């Protein structure tokens, strides 16, 4: 699972680099710090993913818009991510 998570965050950093003037090294550092902070918040506050999203996504804001896109489009890729390796192992 660690490789899958790493691949997802690599795509996020690659795409962020295309859409901002921030250099790749700083983008990677921000993503890693965000991953760390998110995990810490989830663990320490015993929050669900939905609680977390509600806490940080302002109605009509960019985070809410981004989460809508993720919820609509990412499940297909995640399904394939699990489906193909599972078939390969049988």
Find the mean pLDDT for residues 17-36. Answer: 97
Domain of 20, CATH number, reads 1.10.3730
The pair of three-digit structure tokens given for residue 53, joined into one six-digit string: 């999203």
Number of domains in the chain: 1
Instruction: Look up the domain containing 43 and give its range.
Output: 2-88
CA–CA separation, 66 vs 60, rounded Å?
Answer: 10
User: What does the pLDDT read at residue 86?
Assistant: 73
Give the span between the Cα atoms of 31 and 10, in whole angstroms: 9
pLDDT score at 89: 61
- Whole-prediction pTM: 0.80
Of 5-19, 50-64, 73-87, minimum mean pLDDT range: 73-87
Q: Which of 50, 58, 78 is nearest to 42 (CA)?
A: 50
In the prediction, which pLDDT does 90 show? 56
């Amino acid at each position: 699972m660690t490789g899958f998570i790493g691949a997802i965050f690599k795509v996020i950093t690659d795409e962020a680099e295309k859409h901002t003037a921030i250099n790749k090294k700083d983008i990677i550092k921000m993503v890693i710090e965000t991953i760390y902070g998110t995990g810490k918040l989830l663990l320490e506050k015993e929050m669900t993913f939905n609680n977390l999203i509600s806490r940080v996504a302002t109605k009509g804001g960019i985070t809410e818009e981004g989460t809508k896109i993720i919820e609509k489009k990412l499940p297909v890729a995640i399904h394939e991510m699990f489906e193909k390796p599972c078939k390969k192992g049988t």
